A and B are shown apart, each in its own frame.
Chain A
Amino acid sequence: MSGNEGNPLPAMTGRTAGRWLRSDSGQGWLTISPPFVYALLLLAGPILVIIANSFWSQDYLTIDHTFTLKNYREALTEPIYRDLLFRSLFVSVIVSIVTVVLAYPVAWFVSFHGGKYKGIWLFVITVPFWSGYLLRILSWKVILGYNGVLNTGLQYLSIISEPLSSLLYNVNAVIITLAHSWAAFAILPLFVSLEKVDRTLLEAASDLGDGPIRGFLRVTLPLTMPGIIAALMIVMIPTVGDYVTPKLVGGKDGVMIANAIQVQFGKAANWPLGAALAVSTMVIVGMVAGAMVLLLLGLKRLVK
C-alpha cells in the first residue's frame, strides 16, 4: 500500500469499489453471491471439467491430457452408442409430447374451471411428483411384470389366459413410466401460461362468431405457446438422461444413454469417453429442443 501513495489510481478504484458495493447493483451481486458462487464452483466448474475431459483420453489408470477428438468419434460412430443416443432422444421427445398433450386439458381445466380451488388442484396434481421417484418406477415394474398386477388381474378376470410378456422390459414400458413420472411437472408451466390468457379475448372471439373450438385454436393455443414450449423442454431435457427407469423397466431393449455413461464412470473407468457421451447427449438434445421450438413457433404463425 505505502508504495502506491503517490498514485491516486488504487485509492480511486477502492472508492469506486466501495461506491459500487453500496449501489443497488453491488448490493444485488453481494446478496446473490453465496448461492451464485456455490453454483459456479459445484455446477458450472464441474461441467467445464467434464467438457475438458471429453477432449482427453484414458491411458490405463491415468488420463492423457493431449487434445483429441477420438472420444467423440467413438461416441458418435460406434453403433451401440449411436443406437442408445437415438433411442434416448426418441424416448425423451415422445415422452415430452405425450406428457404435454395429456396434461394440457388438465391444466386448462384447473385454470378455467378451478375457481377458488386452483391451488388445491395444483397441489393434489403435483404431490406425486415430489415423493417416491424410485418407488413409483418400482411400482410400474410391479404393475407391468410377467406375474405383475396387470397380468394377474386380467387373468383373474379371465380376460386373458396367458400372461402378456410384452408389457415390461421394452421401450414402451420406459415411455409409460417416464410419462407418468413427469406428468405433474408439465402441468405447472402450462397452468402459468393459461392463467395469463386474457379472458376478454376469448369473449371477443366468440362475439365475432368463433365457436369454442375455433376460439381455442386461434386464441388460447397460440397464447399458451410459451407454456407449451417450456413444458416440453422441462420434460424432454431431464428425461433424455434418465438412468433408473431404463434400468428397472427397460430391460435389454430399453437401455438408454445414461446407462452407458454410468458404465464409463463406473466399471469401465473411461471418464473421457463417458464425458464425450454426456456432452454429445446434451448438445444433441439441445439441438432437438431448438428445432422443436422453431417448429412450434412456425406452427403458431400458421394458425394465426
Chain B
Amino acid sequence: MRGSSIRKGVVTAYVALYVAILYFPVLLLPVFSVNDSATPKLPLTGFTLKWYSGLASNETMHSAAWNSLLVGVSAALLSTILGICAARAITRHQFTGKGVASGLIMAPLILPEIIIAISLLVVLLSVGIELSLLTVILGHLLICVPYSVTVLVSGFEGFDPSMEEASRDLGETTWGTLRRVTLPMLAPSIISSLLVTFTISLDEFILAFFLSGTEPTLPVYIWGQLRFAAKLPNVLALGSVMIAASLVMLTVAEIVRRRAEARTAAKTE
C-alpha cells in the first residue's frame, strides 16, 4: 500500500513538472513583452508597456491583423459547414467507401503542412489563380475541416436521431427539421467548432506563408519582423496578445462543449 502511494506521488510530481515545462515557453513571451530591455535576457530590468504602445500605431500590423481576422472568420464558417456535412454522414449513415472518404477529409491532420502547401501552390499557380487572402482561406479550410469534424461528430453522437424523425413525422419539412431541431441541438458543437477553427487559422503559418501573396496574415507578418532584432520586443508584445486571444477562445469553446455534454448526460439519465 505504501509503495503504491509513493509511486503515485512520483507520477504526480512528474506530471506537474511536465505541465510546467509545457507552459514555460508560452508564459515567457508575456514576461519579456513587459520587460524594459530591447533584448530578452535575465535578470529582468523593469516594467514597461512601451512595446504594446508601439503596436497601437503600427499600420502594417493592423492590416495584417485585419487580414488574419478575415481569413479566420471565413475559414471558421466554411470549415464548420463542411464539417457538419462530414460529421452527419459519418454518424448517421452507413455506406461503402465511408472509410476512404473520411480518411481523405481527415488526412491533413497527419500530413506535413509543407506537402499540403506546395501541392496547393503548384496547382493554383498552374491554373493561373493569383495568390491572395482567398488562396490562404482555401488552404486553411483543408486543415480546419478535420478539427470541425472531430468536434461535430461528438455533437451528433450527443443527440438522439429519433428527435429528427419525430420532427419529420410531425410534419416538419427537411429544412424545418434542420432549422428547428438539428441546428439548435448542435449549437454548442457548432460554436465550439467555430472558435477552435478560428484559433487554428489565426495561428497557422506554413500555408499562409506559401499562399498569401502580398497580403500577410499575422504569423506571416511576425515572420517578416524576425529579421530585425530591434523589433523583437514588439513581436513579443503582439505574440502575447495573440496567445491571450487564443486562450480565451479555446476556453470558451471548451466551456460551451462541456455544458452541452453535461446537459445531454443529464437528459439521458
**Interface residues of A, Cβ cutoff 8 Å to B:** 24-29, 31-36, 38-40, 42-47, 49-50, 53, 102, 105-106, 108-110, 113, 119, 123-125, 127-128, 130-136, 138-140, 142-143, 147-149, 151-153, 156, 180, 183-184, 212, 233-234, 237-244, 248, 258, 261-262, 265, 271, 274-275, 278, 281-282
Contact = CB atoms under 8 A, between A and B. Distances in A.
B110 interface: yes
Interface string B241-261: 011001100100010001000
Contact of B39 (A50, A130, A147): A147
Contact of A28 (B29, B89, B204): B89
Contacts, number: 238
Contacts of B254: 123
A24 B90 CA distance: 12
Contact of A241 (B105, B114, B121, B239): B114
A109 B12 contact: yes
Contacts of A33: 85
Contacts of B164: none
B199 A131 contact: yes
A113 B4 CA distance: 12
A113 B12 CA distance: 9
B89 to A, nearest CB: 4
Contacts of B122: 46, 49-50, 53, 265, 271, 275
B141 interface: yes
B104 interface: yes
B133 interface: no
A170 B112 CA distance: 22
A135 B29 contact: yes
Interface stretch (B19-27, B55-63, B69-77): B19-27
A135 B240 CA distance: 9
Given A50-B122, A237-B110, A243-B206, A139 B15 contact: no
B199 A28 contact: no
Contacts of A239: 112
B75 to A, nearest CB: 12
7 contacts: A31-B92, A46-B119, A49-B123, A138-B222, A149-B42, A152-B43, A258-B114
A25 B114 contact: no
Given A43-B142, A124-B19, A130 B111 contact: no
Contacts of A130: 196, 199-200, 203, 246, 250
B116 A43 contact: yes
A278 B110 contact: no
A124 B19 CA distance: 8
A242 B206 CA distance: 9
Given A102-B18, A132-B203, A147-B41, 17 more contacts: A28-B93, A28-B95, A29-B89, A35-B83, A36-B105, A39-B107, A109-B12, A124-B19, A131-B246, A138-B239, A148-B41, A152-B41, A212-B3, A212-B4, A243-B206, A258-B114, A265-B122
Interface of B: 3-4, 7-8, 11-12, 14-15, 18-19, 21-23, 25-26, 28-29, 32, 39-43, 81-83, 85-86, 88-90, 92-98, 101-102, 104-105, 107-116, 118-123, 126, 138, 141-142, 145, 149, 196, 199-200, 203-206, 210, 219, 222-223, 226, 235, 239, 242-243, 246-247, 250, 254, 258
Given A36-B104, A43-B142, A241 B112 contact: yes
Contact of A184 (B22, B95, B141): B22
Given A25-B94, A35-B83, A123-B254, A274 B118 contact: yes
A12 B69 CA distance: 51
A40 to B, nearest CB: 7
Contact of B42 (A35, A140, A153): A153
Contacts of B19: 106, 124-125
A131 B241 CA distance: 11
Quick one: which of A34, A125, A128 has the most chain B CB within 10 A?
A: A128
Contact of B40 (A35, A43, A142): A142
A134 B4 CA distance: 41
The interface centre, meaning the residue of B7, B21, B28 with most chain A CB atoms within 10 A of its CB, is B28
A148 B4 CA distance: 41
B86 A35 contact: yes
A234 B40 CA distance: 33
Given A34-B85, A109-B11, A138 B235 contact: yes
Nearest to A114: B15
Contacts of B90: 32
B5 to A, nearest CB: 11
Contacts of B115: 47, 50, 241, 278, 282
Given A39-B105, A40-B104, A130-B196, A49 B205 contact: no
